[in-house]
Structure 1
Amino acid sequence: MDFELTSEQQLLKDSVRRYIDKAYSFEARTALLQAGKNGSADNWALFAANGWLMAALPEEYGGLGGSLLETAIIAQELGRGLVLEPYLGCAVLAAQTLAAAGSAEQKSRWLPQLAEGTCRIALAYSEPGSRGMPEPVTLRAERSGDGFVLHGLKSLVLGAPDAQAFIVSAKVAGTTGVSLLLVDADAAGLERQALPLHDGTWVEELNFDGVEVASDRLLGEAGQGLPALREGLAHGIVALCAELIGGMEKTLEVTADYLKVRKQFGVPIGSFQALQHRMADMAAELELARSMLHVALASMTNDDEPTRRKTLSGAKMLIGRAAKVVCGQGIQLHGGIGMTEEYLVGHYYKRAVVADLLLGSSDSHEAACATALQAELRA
């Protein structure tokens, strides 16, 4: 796979970088956090106007026809700015799951709205017992007349606070597989509880107590939704890994600048060899993580499904752990100021801690890798 960016991809990268550097300041982000907001509607509209929400959606449904690489480019640059808006939850997870699962009619109705930023859909798949993995699913969908009635709980729904609808994974009575249904956010019987995460972002817990869903809101065939759900999650894992790469890059840059200006004994502390060694270790961790992201992108293009799943689990595990190491070292090299809420470097570490648990923790993905390797050895 060629990882040299085309001229169009470089322009995309540069445009997101300019926006983050000039318009998404740490102070503006802090103001949103203090107001308890999960981003800004104006920022979301700007994302849509610049084509970032439609970059990886099919052209026939209002997208630009880009690939997962475009998603990774955008996510990496947004990660540098610790962007609060739910790009991962709505523009990647939900959009790609809908693109994989929906009928032509469903995609024609919903994907253009997602691309234009006029509608937000969130993916509600995680449950307390699944720990961020797509299975097991315990939420029940019982057939009732010309539709379904949902009972169960979904947790850690990314992008939920401002969503107009949810893609919900469920077990339909009479089937053994996973089904995906599109549920309105204001549906009767749906209880929503907003929950803050450690990094200041918000998610929701959804309790389905007899929520009625029409049959035309079933995405694809009943019991056949797991491949589409895995496809959406695969895109989400790559985007989250790319976001962490961006956060590590910015942490390294901020820390290097600080070491040049902070003085002890009359000299910049960056001249101390011990601190140079720690910066070198951080840079090495970043490059290993970047290489693993490239491996994941190549696997999504070239490998079969079992190999892709194992590779993505490896990428999520390695990059998630590397981000905590790099961002944690950034705090330590800053000393006391790195621990304050008013300084940005600690917020990259908070995001790394949260990201390590999203879409399956590093421990869960390590176990998935071990299971896949054992299966290969037995074969």
Structure 2
Amino acid sequence: MNFTLSSEQQMLQDSVRRFVDREYAFDTRTARLASVSAADCWPVFAEQGWLCAALPELHGGLGGSAIDNALIAQELGRGLVLEPFTGCAVLAAQTLAAADAPQQHADWLPRLADGSQRLALAYAEEQTRGLPEGLLARAEPVAGGYRLSGRKTLVVGGMQTDAFIVSALTAEGCSLFLVAADSPGLQRRALPLHDGSEAAEVLLEQVVVDNSALLGQPGSGLAALRQGLAHATASLCAELVGGMERAIEISADYLKVRQQFGVTLGSFQALQHRMADMAAQLELARSALYVLLDALDNLDGHDLQLRVSQVKALMGRAAKFVCGQAIQLHGGIGTTEECSVGHYYKRAVVADLLLGSAERHEALCAERLQASLR
């Protein structure tokens, strides 16, 4: 894998960082959280080409890869950006792109690319714990279509979306359906998350869709779902890497100016050791992200899923460690709402639970290891 960014990728990264520095300073983000009428930055994302970075050129995208999405997410993570880039522009868009559904590609991908409409993926249920398997939502055949019933939770971007990709069981297995957000029988309610962002809970009560809503063949949804989740995991991990970078930078600056006993805190060797431990965890996490990005290009099936679980488990723990240490280095002020490092920790906690927690992915890795030893 080539670790050197191309000139186009460097320009992409620089453009996102300039946006974050200009529009998402910590005070600005705090004001956005406090305002119910804060302007949404999605049109800016579309204008800059970030929404279409990894979508196929045939349907209005730029034909990039997961690396492009990771570069965008990493910079957005530095600013704790609230817009659901990973949830809508990566998770839902890449799931749709992976489905064998040419007509829906032609209808929806151009609109996702130009930001005129949004999709959210409604796949998680309480008992699935962030994984695609074990769902209880059902899709029963009816004349000319299907009737959907079930409850979905932690739908990132679900309150702003125009339609949902819904996973449900048919007789053939897991299938995916494109369901308009205003469909009769579909209800959604906001789920405020600990870090200030928002997800949705979606209730499907006898929602009827026609056959054109089915993405691909009945029972073929799990493969597309796993591909979308792999891309989204890489994007979410990149976001956490960006957050860890910023938490370390903020902590280093604080230690240079905060004084105790007449000297700066940065002169204490014990605190220098803590900063070194944080930097080491950041580099481990960054290397794990590179491994996952490489796997997206070169692995598939169970091998790719193993890499996803390995990296997600490591990243969740690393981010909570680094951001937790940043709070410790700030002392009591680090726990206040006015101090930014506490918000990076909150984001790390939420991100660890999205797309499957570290504990759940570790269990999957253990199951894979046990199976290989039999």
Q: Same fold (TM over 0.5)?
A: yes
Which one-letter code corresponds to 1:25 in the other structure? A
Unaligned runs of 5+ in 1: none
Cα distance, 1:372 vs structure 2:
1.2
Cα distance, 1:304 vs structure 2:
3.5
- 2:144 is aligned to 146
Aligned match for 2:315, one of 313, 319, 324: 319
**What SS is found at the alignment partner of 2:117?**
coil
Equivalence map 1:232-311=2 (5 Å):
232-311=228-307
> 2: distance between equivalents of 1:40 and 1:364?
36
> 2: distance between equivalents of 1:216 and 1:207?
21
**What SS is found at the alignment partner of 2:343?**
helix
> 2: distance between equivalents of 1:143 and 1:305?
29
- 1:26 is aligned to 26
- 1:133 is aligned to 131
Which one-letter code corresponds to 2:354 in the other structure? L
- 1:11 is aligned to 11
Q: What is the CA deviation profile of residues 292-322 of structure 1, one whole-angstrom value per residue up to 9, with x for unaligned ones?
A: 1111111111223211111110100001100
Contact 1:122–1:165 (Cα < 8 Å) also in 2:
yes
- 1:339 is aligned to 335
> 2: distance between equivalents of 1:208 and 1:119?
21
Aligned match for 2:221, one of 221, 225, 241: 225
User: Would the alpha carbon gap of residues 297 and 18 (structure 1) be closer, same or farther in structure 2, given more than 3 Å must change?
Assistant: same
- 2:56 is aligned to 58
> 2: distance between equivalents of 1:122 and 1:210?
20
Aligned match for 1:183, one of 160, 169, 179: 179
- 1:35 is aligned to 35
**What SS is found at the alignment partner of 1:178?**
strand
- Point out 4+ residue stretches in structure 1 off by more than 4 angstroms: none
Task: Give identity over the alignment, percent.
Answer: 61
> 2: distance between equivalents of 1:63 and 1:196?
32
Contact 1:40–1:85 (Cα < 8 Å) also in 2:
no
> 2: distance between equivalents of 1:377 and 1:217?
42
Which one-letter code corresponds to 1:26 in the other structure? F
> 2: distance between equivalents of 1:171 and 1:18?
44
Which one-letter code corresponds to 1:73 in the other structure? L
**What SS is found at the alignment partner of 1:94?**
helix
Q: What is the CA deviation profile of residues 112-151 of structure 1, one whole-angstrom value per residue up to 9, with x for unaligned ones?
A: 1111111011000000010000011110111110011111
- 2:76 is aligned to 78
> 1: distance between equivalents of 2:260 and 2:32?
36
- 2:189 is aligned to 193
User: Would the alpha carbon gap of residues 368 and 234 (structure 1) be closer, same or farther in structure 2, given more than 3 Å must change?
Assistant: same
- The yes-or-no answer on 1:164 pairing with 2:162 is yes
- 2:367 is aligned to 371
How many corresponding residue pairs?
374
Unaligned runs of 5+ in 2: none
Contact 2:51–2:112 (Cα < 8 Å) also in 1:
yes
**What SS is found at the alignment partner of 2:140?**
strand
Which one-letter code corresponds to 2:16 in the other structure? V
> 2: distance between equivalents of 1:301 and 1:269?
45
Q: What is the CA deviation profile of residues 201-251 of structure 1, one whole-angstrom value per residue up to 9, with x for unaligned ones?
A: 111111111111111010000111100000000000000000000000000
Contact 1:96–1:232 (Cα < 8 Å) also in 2:
yes
> 2: distance between equivalents of 1:33 and 1:45?
19
Cα distance, 1:23 vs structure 2:
2.0
Contact 2:100–2:217 (Cα < 8 Å) also in 1:
no
Cα distance, 1:57 vs structure 2:
0.2
